[in-house]
Structure 1
Amino acid sequence: MSVAVPATSLAVLALASRPASACGGLFCDIVDGTPQPVDQTGENILFVVDRAAETVEAHIQIEYTGDPDEFAWIIPVTAVPEFSIGSEKLFDNLLTSTAPRYGWNFNLDCPDGPDGVCCICGGDGKVAEQSGWTDDGGDSDDGVEVIKRDFVGAYEIVTLQSGDAQELWDWLSTHGYYENNLARPVIDAYVAEGFYFAAARLRHGAGVEEIQPLVVKYSGTEPCVPLRLTKIAATDDMGVRVFALAKVRVAPSNYRHVELNDVRIDWLGGADNYAEVVTAAVDVPGADGHAFITEYAGSSDIVVRAGLVGDAWDPESFRALTSPAPADGPTVIDVLAAQGLVDCSGDACVYDHPQVLSLLRTYVPAPASVAEDAFYKCLRCHESDIDANAWSAEAFAQAMEERIVAPGQHADELLEKWPYLTRMFTIISRHEMTVDPEFLENASLPEVDNVHTAEFFLGCGGTRKTELPSERTVLSGPGGWPDFPEAMPYALRVEQIAPAGAPQLVQDFAPAIDAALRASNSQFSYDDGKAGCALGRGSLFGAAPLMVVFAVAWHGRRRRRV
């Protein structure tokens, strides 16, 4: 999930599960004292469902650009949660490994002649001291109880509870959060229902480059995605992608499930209309804007684990460094390089993990008079410029363990432990964000491949024939994929999924698809070459069939205001 919320602003996210399943969202810029929506263009969330332990881990991808002192986030929760740092690389690998791919095998449907002739075809306490919070855990401040304070990575998080909505708003205002009347009714409802609130921000002195995915662990077995308050921040046609690691497939429970009509995908144009097809498919009658498609469901082994964790990563090796560049022995850059985390041998330093540079900026900051790369490439050359007060071997080692090693190990362990991965997607507009989607497990559901392959044929008359995975045949001319009329549905079917058994069919658009396709195909005459045709030398793509694959990418990113 992307976050872009400036100072004295309030963002709300609720992650809960049945029986308490309310969720929230993210919102507001302050422009000339007036709250303004922050454009949220996409969310990526990973749920890890552990039914035996009755817990759900929500891994939330966060992006933010702007003043670090202006980052603020409120999370309503049904119970006191546990927080930890997640792995950005895990999201990268999830997105890349399971991306929908549409491709086709190329075939020439005409007789070969001699000589290639064929048809011509068209940790040491410093963090707490730097805290911007003034309350002590367990104290009561004007009717607001501070349950606990957590310091995880670059975040400081205070868990609160209040029985009075006005007192909560007063506390938030006192501590630098803007009271947004657009969110007031929902927050008031959370208070009335006895919710806790986790108030998170970047700790004092942390830079935005230190932001990592946040992991929220809570009791429950049915995860929920925050959308009700998200509509305040959302753009129209916002992508929401949900990953779930479990023992079986996960599906939406209170939203419909939709299968795409693959005839609507522009197979010849690289599937570049994929977002358009999804947007229209989840809006068909029976889905009505509250639906998800499944982009992948199957073994979690599909996810590449490269880069999640390195065998050479060793925080302990930094505890022996009395300074970043001791007179004898390796520098901190040398140790990082030996562990494969940085390479300063070229013109510029290359950092193998997004948190390495942020750690260096915190504990070995480059002086304003020296370029950062020049400083780190040769610490001993700038020994007099090293800030001795910033260095703490113990704090550096602890930070490396918490921000680099532990999240990577946990990500690798999750993929090892949980055999099944589901990837779901929807595109939704703010006026449709009236219900928070919830998800359930169903062992009866089939796997869903993310690779879709069609057979493409060039006929002698220039007409193209594409045989789709749905066993439908599409004829088209040299101009590209047919421009189907609105009578051609975007969805194949709409389903309602229960905790067990096959999906219940809500809408079946197959007859309408077949009728529209027959009308479209009747415009073309396909010549398979069996009756003979003009010959020319050479083939369009060479002698061997050609496999063409297009990967679909939808990286929902929030537009940022600085």
Structure 2
Amino acid sequence: MRSGFVVPVLAATLLASLSTTDEAAACGGCFVPPSQSTVVSAHRMALSISPKQTVLWDQIQYDGDPEEFAWVLPVKPGAVIEVSTDAWFDTLDAATTTQIFQAPVDCGNDSSGGFGCGAMDVRSAGATNEAGGGGGPSVTVVHRGTVGPYQTVTLSTDTPGALNDWLDNAGYAVDPSTQPVIDAYVAEKFDFIAIKLQPGKDVKSMKPVRIVMPGASPTLPLRMVAIGTGANVAVTLFMITEGRWEAKNFNNVVAPVDLLAWDFQTQSSNYGELRTKVLEQNGGASWLTAFAFEGGLLGQLPGLFTFGGPRTYSSTGTGLGGVTDTIAGAYVAQGLASGETMSGECSQNLVNLSKSSLMVSNPCPAGVPFDDPSCGSVAAGEIDARKLACGPLDDLAVALNGLHPKDVWLTRLEANLPRAALAEDLVLAPAASQETVDNMHQARIGTNVEAFCGDGSAAPITNGSKRGGGGSGPLVVGFGLGLAAIAAAARRRLGAARA
């Protein structure tokens, strides 16, 4: 079950509504029989990295015959697969999606003016968000099992071409052009996890999955992502790390928010165009940091613009009584609203531990539920990860294992990668800049302001503007500036950036 999400509460009665997106697909290779065809257009993933473990979440969407679905991902030896929750991606996406608010304007009369209610989710601006079988001795089945609605198999091989043969024997089409990619991962000593839907399960039962791997592995298998994609693929990656992270072997960009313009006639901004331009840099091999906050998961984020208090969130169906002031709290509320958990008892623990310098530790063996008898106890001076789980709603607890809550950043990276950029895996590393990047922005330029003020004169508010996160700076409202001139200014700025 999916629920819409509302974020944030700007004032007591002003809510900006976000709806979850269904445009997502697996980050592994998606193999289908010869009678089927698929083009993967978007991926939505999350990655948590600590010295103890690396966790990769992947949201899978597939619209074909459930009996003909298979998903394959290269993993480090020792990896286990677990089922995740829809609430995890629903919350991360809704809380970090870029939103643009109209430029403030003084209409010169008493009828209107100041900060209007115009706001736009960038998704409305055209921005893209997002086994089994036979085999021979050359392929070792490391593990078979079930998780959620899936049958799972972990495979290991040292023989080039063996995995392709195994998949062919299972009835899945493997394009011959993919064999060099798979063989390269084999040569690099990767194992492979493959999943299929259990008999009797349909595509509506599909849930996100997470892969838990031992140690720090800051790499995303983009070469495998290339399988099944078209000319370009949109990728959204949420990172949970100590410190702000970014791409190490790709270009890193941010949106030129000082060029943001708000058209009062269409009630929309030019953010989509600005975003497209920066992502086209470096031949399209660029990653945009759209959100980055220390304490972004567990802590309160600053209020917006001139509104006081922290940013707040409400899950659809809970009403204003369900408003929370952290993304972690919103995750629990969303899980309750969607029926993925019946208990919110971990909420207060999340609040209490948000500024702790102690390390979170999971005392359970890999792949074992938190309530399993084999679980032990944590060492003195550590936080028991089980305290951060609300029943089956355990993504936060898993994500924070090995991390210190007060140092954890939540970062959103976006890309629109051409196939050529998928020739190498994405390597991630601590960012050169550890500055905050907000997803809430107020346009600096206004056009067609008469649609808001009428035919009377209008003047900019001269006391400056505040962007999301409480940042401040001069606001330029160019009421006589046409959109063509704004676009020209953007081209000059972006051209200078490329140079």
Q: How does 1:75-474 map to 2 (within 5 A)?
A: 75-108=73-106, 110=108, 133=132, 141-262=136-257, 264-268=259-263, 270-284=267-281, 287-298=282-293, 299=295, 300=297, 301=299, 302=301, 303-305=326-328, 308-309=331-332, 352-353=338-339, 406-411=391-396, 414=399, 418=405, 419-442=408-431, 445-454=434-443, 471=474, 473=476
- Residue type at the aligned position of 1:184: Q
Which residue of 450, 453, 475 maps to 2:478?
A: 475
- Could you tell me how far apart the structure 2 residues matched to 1:187 and 1:238 are? 20
Aligned residues of 1:73 and 1:199 also touching (Cα < 8 A): yes
- Could you tell me how far apart the structure 2 residues matched to 1:213 and 1:266 are? 37
Which entry has the higher C-alpha Rg, 1 or 2?
Answer: 1
Deviation per CA, 1:277-336, whole angstroms, max 9, x where unpaired? 22221223xx3322111111112235534574479x9xxxxxxxxxxxxxxxxxxxxxxx
- Could you tell me how far apart the structure 1 residues matched to 2:149 and 2:196 are? 8
Match of residue 58 from structure 1: 56
Unaligned 5+ runs, structure 1: 5-10, 14-24, 119-131, 314-339, 342-351, 357-396, 399-403, 495-506, 509-562
Aligned-pair CA distance for 1:88:
1.1
Q: Which has the higher contact order (CA 8 A, sep 6+)?
A: 1
- Could you tell me how far apart the structure 1 residues matched to 2:486 and 2:333 are? 50
Match of residue 392 from structure 1: none
Deviation per CA, 1:516-558, whole angstroms, max 9, x where unpaired? xxxxxxxxxxxxxxxxxxxxxxxxxxxxxxxxxxxxxxxxxxx
- Could you tell me how far apart the structure 2 residues matched to 1:493 and 1:219 are? 43
Q: 1:3 to 1:168 in 2, by over 3 A?
A: farther
- Residue type at the aligned position of 1:411: L
Q: How does 1:492-531 map to 2 (within 5 A)?
A: none
- Residue type at the aligned position of 2:327: V
Q: 1:480 to 1:283 in 2, by over 3 A?
A: closer
Alpha-carbon RMSD: 4.0
Deviation per CA, 1:6-31, whole angstroms, max 9, x where unpaired? xxxxx8x5xxxxxxxxxxx4345555
Q: 1:97 to 1:106 in 2, by over 3 A?
A: same
Deviation per CA, 1:149-182, whole angstroms, max 9, x where unpaired? 1321111211111222233322222222223212
Q: 1:296 to 1:154 in 2, by over 3 A?
A: same
Q: 1:228 to 1:168 in 2, by over 3 A?
A: closer
Aligned residues of 1:309 and 1:409 also touching (Cα < 8 A): no
- Could you tell me how far apart the structure 2 residues matched to 1:171 and 1:154 are? 22
- Residue type at the aligned position of 1:252: A
- Residue type at the aligned position of 1:57: V
Aligned residues of 1:462 and 1:478 also touching (Cα < 8 A): no
Q: Secondary structure at the match of 1:254?
A: coil
Deviation per CA, 1:119-166, whole angstroms, max 9, x where unpaired? xxxxxxxxxxxxx7478xxxx833211111132111121111122223
Aligned-pair CA distance for 1:211:
1.2
TM-score (norm 1): 0.56
- Could you tell me how far apart the structure 2 residues matched to 1:274 and 1:174 are? 48
Aligned-pair CA distance for 1:406:
4.7
How many residues are aligned here? 369
Q: 1:226 to 1:184 in 2, by over 3 A?
A: same
Unaligned 5+ runs, structure 2: 1-21, 114-130, 302-325, 343-370, 373-388, 468-472
Aligned-pair CA distance for 1:408:
0.8
- Residue type at the aligned position of 2:164: W
Aligned residues of 1:43 and 1:241 also touching (Cα < 8 A): yes
Aligned-pair CA distance for 1:258:
1.0
- Could you tell me how far apart the structure 2 residues matched to 1:249 and 1:203 are? 39
- Could you tell me how far apart the structure 2 residues matched to 1:239 and 1:117 are? 40
